[in-house]
Amino acid sequence: MPRFRQILDSMAPYKPGKAVAAPDGRSYKLSSNESPYDPLPSVVEAVAEGARQIHRYPDAGSVALTEAIAARYGVPAEHVATGPGSVTVAQQLLEAVGEPGAEVVYAWRSFEAYPLLADLAGVTSVRVPLAGEDHDLDAMAEAVTDRTSLIFVCNPNNPTGTAIRRRELTAFLDRVPEDVLVVLDEAYREYVRDEDVPDGVELYRDRPNVCVLRTFSKAYGLAGLRVGYLIGHEPVASAVRKTTVPFAVNHLAQLAAVASLQAEDELLDRVERVVKERTRVSEALAAQGWTVPHSEANFVWLRLGERTADFAAACAAEGVAVRPFHPEGCRVTIADPEANDAFLAAAASFAHRTGES
């Protein structure tokens, strides 16, 4: 047999959210934090027109997209790097810092890809337990050693939906050594409504060791095309560009992302609808007796402990797919009102049947 890296023997591959169906055929996928809305007509038109050029390689430098992102945020184009989804950009960052013995610090539970990406890059994960449902920034700062190369801060956090406020985050950044890269993973930034939750793009400007990850997969509804990006100072963005696979962001994805930025007002109107549904779902769950952390993302979190698998199975029986993280809890994507109502009915039925919530 061919010889492979030993780490592969202990690694479980990333598991995407699943779809389920009830016996009557009803199916609501609330397990992957996808947008419930179809792409905008202008985005579809750009992709359809671009399909005439798919016999050509894409622009390896994503120049038009890079310039559009830079213009959107008022940053130099040299501070932008793109990739096929922000998770891949995170992988590129880890490859850039992945010297033997290097450590990466992150909260746990947080984005489930962090451990996988760290293992693949050959760096050591230092997982810092959450304080309730929130990042324990004091403990994370104390976990930094001379071996720490990178810190992930997922804000809002996936899967709990909780967000770190400005005072706490800036105090934490002040404690991090200047040679440690802090990655503010802001995949759900567009859903934030708490004005005290800082915009990472503003924080990075005078902090050379801070960068920001964003994605077009969530609010912009391009999950099927895979487009993500980093905003950071030139040495950081340059490191990402050096570790990228050639032609990583395909031609149609680049066109769709640029068209989405041009239609941002229309897209963000859709985001506002999701935010309103988030409030409605959270209030309905609270009325049923559930404890629901305040979410600034496009999902809600239920800490269920040993009931996690049973709850997910009960939802699946009603055609509602949620994302279980056994034995901690379930993450539930906010979708359209019909899907959200189906979930709320399943949650109420589970609470009634088990006598607890």
The structural domains of the chain, ordered by start, are 18-39+263-352 (3.90.1150.10), 41-262 (3.40.640.10)
Dist CA 15 CA 11 (whole Å): 12
CB-based burial label for 263 (10 Å; 0-12, 13-18, 19+): middle
pLDDT in the model for residue 357 = 57
- Alpha-carbon torsion (123, 124, 130, 136), positive or negative: negative
Radius of gyration of the chain from Cα atoms? 20
Nearest to 229 by CA among 75, 49, 108: 75
pLDDT in the model for residue 25 = 86
Q: Are 104 and 125 in contact (CB under 8 A)?
A: yes
- Any idea what DSSP says for residue 145? -
| pTM confidence score | 0.95
pLDDT in the model for residue 127 = 98
Structure tokens at 228: 């993500």
pLDDT in the model for residue 100 = 87
Task: Name the residue type at position 162.
Answer: T
Dist CA 199 CA 113 (whole Å): 23
CB-based burial label for 166 (10 Å; 0-12, 13-18, 19+): middle
pLDDT in the model for residue 23 = 83
CB under 8 Å to 143, separation ≥6 — which residues? 105, 126, 128
Structure tokens at 221: 């509804």
Count the helix, strand and coil residues of the chain and give each as a percent rounded to the nearest 5: 45, 15, 40
Ranges of residues in the chain whose predicted pLDDT is under 70: 355-357
pLDDT in the model for residue 16 = 79
